[in-house]
């Protein structure tokens, strides 16, 4: 095939330049709050009072980060948010793993194993995606009390698993519906059972949707505030609740640099997840969207 030299007209170049300029402008506007937080978190209080929000620090200091991690007042005690980060990890990891596993099994059963009433089951799970968090606060609190899980990290894990199953099932169900039924039928003829088909056939091709589900659930659970403040005690609060207590603390002089450092610490895990796995999230969303 002959090489084709494409010459762009001045109008096309101008249009392309305008598109890039608009994208860069919107990116700057979108990232401006993050830049303000970062700059403020490494300034001294004197520097904050003397300059403006976007001014560069005259002296870079990481003392606010250390103070936010181990000394910032979180309500009852001045102990920093470091321990609450660990609380969030203890909540997020099992909640994401369990809800993803159950969602995968549900999606598999709802698409490849026909049973009476499966449409009703899926409809009820889908309905669960639209129930506002506030509606279930009281009945969930009663349930946790009956189970003896009130004010515990285990109770928060259970809450996030129950509320996350509807979403994970929806993700996996929409993904598995594009897997050929003939593949499952052939495995059944060879004597493979429910779990063997799932582990040997469905799970190996599920990497894209697993990535999507993990990122979605991780973000939802880590950033949750309502369930955390409603179902935890001071010792079991997630980092979002501790951050709120730090920012609203009335002890002493308002330390804006410490507040911003605490907010950056709380946001770093989700930022890292999207930076490192963002492209896989997009690929997972589009994988299987077009059958064939």
Q: What is the CATH number of the domain that holds 251?
A: 1.10.3720.10
User: Judging by beta carbons within 10 Å of its beta carbon (0-12, 13-18, 19+), is residue 81 exposed, middle or buried?
Assistant: buried
**Domain count along the chain:** 2
pLDDT band at 235 (very low <50, low <70, confident <90, very high): confident
If pLDDT is split at 50, 70 and 90, which confidence band does 117 have? Answer: confident
Same-domain check for residues 181 and 235: yes
| 3-state SS class at 180 | coil
pLDDT confidence of residue 284: 65
| Token output for 212 | 């999507």
Question: Domain check: are 158 and 39 in the same one?
Answer: no
Does 132 lie in the same domain as 183? yes
pLDDT at residue 290 in the model: 46
Domain hosting residue 282, numbered range: 82-286
Q: What is the mean pLDDT of residues 83-89?
A: 93
Tell whether 170 and 271 lie within a shared domain. Answer: yes
Among the listed residues 198, 233, 10, the one whose alpha carbon sits nearest the alpha carbon of residue 103: 198
Is 77 contained in some domain?
A: no
What are φ and ψ of residue 96, in 5° steps? Answer: -65, -45
Q: What is the mean pLDDT of residues 207-232?
A: 92
Residue 199 lies in a domain: yes
Residue pair 113/122 in contact by the 8 Å Cβ criterion: no
Is the entire prediction scored with pTM above 0.75? Answer: yes
Give phi and psi for 280, each to the nearest 5.
-70, -30
51 shares its domain with 187: no
Within 10 angstroms of residue 242's Cβ, the number of other Cβ atoms is: 26
Judge whether 267 lies within some domain. Answer: yes
Residues 226 and 120 placed together within one structural domain of the fold: yes
> Does 20 reside within a domain?
yes
**pLDDT per residue as tens digits for the range 159-189:** 999 989 999 998 998 899 888 888 888 888 8
45 and 124 part of one domain: no
Output the average pLDDT for the chain: 85
Q: Is residue 66 part of a domain?
A: no
One domain for residues 141 and 221: yes
Does one domain contain both 27 and 95? no
Yes or no: say if 110 and 169 are a contact pair by the CB < 8 Å rule.
yes
| Identity of the highest mean pLDDT range in 153-157, 231-235, 255-259 | 153-157
Q: Are residues 267 and 143 in the same domain?
A: yes
- CA 221 – CA 156 distance, rounded (Å): 10
Say if 149 falls within a structural domain.
Answer: yes
Asked whether residue 56 falls in the same domain as residue 119, the answer is no
Residues 113 and 229 in one domain: yes
At 252 the pLDDT is: 64
């Amino acid at each position: 095939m002959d090489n084709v030299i494409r010459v762009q007209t001045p109008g096309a170049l101008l249009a392309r330049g305008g598109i890039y300029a608009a994208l860069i402008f919107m990116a700057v506007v979108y990232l401006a709050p993050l830049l303000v937080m970062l700059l403020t978190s490494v300034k001294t209080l004197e520097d904050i009072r003397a300059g403006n929000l976007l001014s560069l620090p005259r002296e870079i200091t990481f003392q606010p980060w250390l103070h936010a991690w181990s000394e910032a007042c979180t309500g009852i005690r001045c102990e920093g948010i470091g321990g609450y980060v660990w609380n969030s990890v203890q909540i997020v990891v099992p909640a994401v793993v369990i809800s993803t596993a159950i969602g995968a099994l549900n999606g598999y059963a709802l698409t490849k194993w026909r049973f009476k009433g499966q449409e009703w089951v899926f409809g009820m799970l889908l309905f669960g995606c639209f129930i506002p968090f506030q509606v279930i606060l009281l009945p969930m609190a009663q349930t946790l009390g009956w189970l003896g899980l009130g004010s515990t990290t285990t109770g928060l894990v259970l809450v996030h698993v129950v509320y996350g199953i509807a979403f994970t099932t929806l993700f996996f169900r929409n993904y598995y519906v594009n897997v050929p039924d003939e593949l499952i039928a052939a495995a059944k003829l060879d004597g493979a059972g429910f779990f063997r088909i799932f582990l040997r056939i469905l799970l190996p091709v599920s990497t894209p949707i697993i990535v999507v589900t993990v990122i979605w659930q991780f973000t939802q659970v880590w950033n949750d505030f309502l369930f955390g403040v409603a179902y935890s005690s001071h010792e079991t609060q997630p980092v979002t609740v501790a951050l709120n207590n730090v920012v609203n603390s009335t002890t002493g002089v308002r330390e804006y640099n410490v507040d911003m450092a605490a907010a950056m610490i709380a946001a770093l895990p989700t930022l890292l997840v999207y930076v490192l796995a963002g492209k896989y999230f997009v690929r997972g969303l589009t994988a299987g969207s077009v059958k064939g």
